[in-house]
């Protein structure tokens, strides 16, 4: 039982950490002090001037206490936030990853000699994305040229093959443009949670297995957002097609040469690497070594949903369902299959995917979920999906979805 007045209105630091009185306890403590000074019959009800003055002072005291608690925890990577966390991880040789932009390889067809200056292209999916060409593109005699285009918006902008076809800066002689492969997604600025995970991983690397040390080092590279891998220690090719006694890494983002160099620096001598991307780097003796790995490929997942509106249903609930499904599919681990039955949870606005995507508490989402009934749910890897079974994802790929991949029909 709390006894008033309190021994102190300030925060207290003990062996278990820092604590401070709540705002209600601060007010009760000062009220008790007033009564001890002016008598128990003093009028300090909520409508009194004295009570309102106490409330103003204790609100300031409470704000000060909370600020001191934040400062106290800012010295720990486990609880620091923002700039304080960025400063803490420098002690581990880390820095917060800045936002990067998605990139794609585009093929331009134009009359020979055409010069495209500060060209812009867009998507044909009504997403209104804009992608910049190199400052100057000169089309050779063949009439076609491959260039790297960069999305103007930072973060993970997705572009499926054959969708970057809109010429936004028409130029005489420029006939068409398209992308044969999916764009490599960029990354938003690294969140506090992700930076904490990297910091924890960096401090545990010395005690990990050699393969875990390779994976941890790759994950710490600038621009790398996800990575996974396998170590085939057997004497035969495994179920993923990885050769005997070989390692394979699957990496999303990052500089290819840096990734290969990191793998070479960390892997044990004589252990072969495997993958569809190969980079030649040098060991500490200056000898050229070819390192192979996979660049993460994305599998577009489409969902079709039919819901029956019940009393209280509002149109914005459709956006919440879409966001929950997109978040769930886009945060599956590399090589993790899409299980049909697990789609029902985000579709019903239940679980962490729904709360993360919408920013709403589960009780509010439960109330929204009670206003509709799902009458049909299908999934597939092409628009207008009809499947009701699991989708197998290759070990070197990951599922992803856009809002346009989710079709919701309300009846």
Residue boundaries of the structural domains of the chain: 12-73, 101-179, 208-295, 299-410
The CATH number that domain 208-295 falls under is 3.30.460
**379, 407 in Cβ contact below 8 A?**
no
- The pLDDT tens digits for 53-89 are 999 999 999 999 999 998 998 988 888 888 888 888 8
Q: What is the pLDDT of residue 206?
A: 56
188, 37, 162: which is closest to 107 by C-alpha?
Answer: 162
The torsion angle over the Cα atoms of residues 314, 389, 338 and 181, rounded to 10 degrees, is -100
Check if the beta carbon of residue 343 is closer than 8 Å to that of residue 303.
yes
- In this prediction, residue 91 has a pLDDT band, given cuts at 50, 70 and 90, of confident
> What's residue 16's pLDDT?
87
* DSSP helix/strand/coil, 311: coil
CB 250 within 8 A of CB 395: yes
Residue 108 has pLDDT above 90, yes or no: yes
Beta bridge partners of 273: 247
For the chain, give the percent of residues with pLDDT over 70. Answer: 98
Nearest to 399 by CA among 273, 277, 275, 252: 252
CA 198 distance to own-chain centroid: 13
Q: Indicate the helix (H) or strand (E) that contains 343.
A: none
Q: Could you tell me how far CA 167 lies from the centroid of its own chain? A: 30
Task: Look up the CATH number of domain 101-179.
Answer: 2.40.30
Whole-number pLDDT of residue 331: 86
Q: What pLDDT does 195 receive?
A: 84
- Distance separating alpha carbons of residues 227 and 249, to the nearest angstrom: 7
CA 165 and chain centroid, separation: 27
Q: Quick one: CA dihedral 100, 104, 105, 108, positive or negative?
A: negative
Write down the residue that tokens 């306890």 correspond to. 25
CA 222 – CA 373 distance, rounded (Å): 45
What are the backbone angles phi and psi of residue 69, rounded to the nearest 5°? -65, -45
Structure tokens at 263: 């793998």
**Taking 90 as the threshold, does the pLDDT of residue 273 lie above it?**
yes
- State how far the Cα of 303 lies from the Cα of 27, in Å rounded to an integer: 54
Q: Can you give the pLDDT at residue 226?
A: 86
Report how far apart, in Å, the C-alpha atoms of 145 and of each of 106, 110, 119, 137 are. Answer: 8, 9, 14, 9
pLDDT greater than 80 at residue 396: yes
pLDDT attached to residue 198: 77
Q: What is the pLDDT of residue 205?
A: 55
- For the chain, the farthest-separated pair of C-alpha atoms sits apart, in whole angstroms, at 98
* Residues ≥6 apart with Cβ < 8 Å to 239: none
Instruction: Answer with the residue of higher pLDDT: 16 or 152.
Output: 152
Residue 153: both structure tokens together:
């918006």
Query: Cα–Cα distance between 330 and 2 in angstroms, integer?
Result: 48
CA dihedral 214→216→220→223, nearest 10 degrees, is: 80
Burial class (CB in 10 A: 0-12, 13-18, 19+), 102: buried
Q: What angle do CA 271, 276, 282 make, to 5 degrees?
A: 50
Check: CB of residue 372 under 8 Å from CB of residue 310: yes
pLDDT of residue 79: 85
What is the model's pLDDT at position 208?
60
94 vs 53 pLDDT, higher one = 53
pLDDT tens digits for 142-191? 999 999 999 999 888 888 899 999 999 999 999 999 999 888 888 778 88
Rounded CA-CA distance 376/306 in Å is 5
Q: What is the DSSP letter of 133?
A: P
| Cα angle, residue 112 at apex, residues 111 and 115 outer, rounded to 5° | 85
Q: Look at residue 220 and tell me whether its pLDDT is greater than 70.
A: yes
Tokens of 77: 């990577």
Q: Quick check: 47 pLDDT over 60?
A: yes
Each residue of 319-346: pLDDT tens digit?
Answer: 999 999 999 998 899 999 999 999 999 9
Q: Write the pLDDT tens digit of every residue in 221-230.
A: 888 888 999 9
Nearest-angstrom CA–CA distance, 305 and 347: 8
- Average pLDDT score over the chain: 91
What distances in angstroms separate CA 402 from CA 152, 161, 329, one per listed residue?
18, 14, 9
């Amino acid at each position: 039982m709390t006894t008033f007045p309190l021994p102190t209105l300030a925060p207290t630091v003990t062996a278990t950490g820092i604590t401070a009185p709540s705002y209600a306890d601060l007010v009760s403590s000062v009220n008790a002090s007033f009564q001890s000074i002016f008598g128990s019959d003093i009028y300090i009800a909520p409508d009194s001037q004295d009570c309102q003055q106490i409330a103003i002072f204790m609100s300031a005291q409470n704000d000060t206490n909370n600020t001191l608690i934040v400062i106290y925890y800012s010295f720990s990577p486990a609880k620091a936030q923002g700039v304080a966390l960025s400063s803490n991880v420098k002690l581990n040789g880390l820095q917060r990853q800045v936002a990067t932009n998605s990139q794609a390889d585009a093929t331009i067809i134009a009359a020979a000699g055409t010069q495209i200056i500060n060209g812009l292209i867009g998507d044909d999916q009504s997403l209104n994305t804009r992608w910049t060409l190199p400052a100057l593109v000169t089309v050779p005699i063949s009439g076609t040229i491959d260039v790297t285009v960069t999305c103007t918006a930072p973060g993970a902008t997705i572009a499926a093959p054959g969708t970057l076809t809109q010429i936004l800066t028409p130029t005489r002689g420029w006939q068409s443009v398209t992308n044969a492969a999916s764009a490599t997604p960029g990354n938003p600025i690294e969140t506090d949670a992700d930076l904490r995970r990297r910091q924890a991983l960096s401090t545990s690397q010395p005690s990990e297995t050699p393969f875990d040390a390779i994976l941890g080092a790759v994950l710490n590279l600038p621009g790398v957002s996800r990575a996974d891998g396998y170590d085939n220690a057997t004497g035969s090719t495994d179920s993923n097609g990885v050769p005997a006694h070989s390692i394979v890494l699957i990496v999303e983002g990052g500089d290819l040469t840096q990734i290969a160099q990191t793998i070479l620096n960390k892997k044990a001598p004589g252990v072969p690497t495997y993958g569809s991307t190969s980079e030649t780097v040098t060991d500490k003796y200056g000898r050229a070594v070819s390192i192979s790995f996979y660049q993460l490929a994305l599998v577009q997942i489409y969902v079709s949903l039919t819901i029956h509106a019940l009393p209280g249903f509002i149109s914005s609930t459709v956006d919440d369902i879409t966001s929950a499904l997109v978040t769930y599919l886009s945060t599956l681990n590399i090589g993790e299959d899409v299980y049909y039955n697990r789609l029902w949870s985000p579709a019903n606005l239940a679980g962490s995917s729904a709360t993360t995507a919408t920013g709403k508490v589960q009780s509010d989402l439960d109330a929204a979920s009670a206003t509709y009934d799902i009458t049909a749910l299908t999934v597939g890897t092409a628009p207008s999906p009809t499947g009701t079974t699991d989708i197998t994802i290759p070990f070197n790929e990951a599922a992803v979805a856009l809002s346009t991949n989710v079709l919701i029909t309300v009846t």
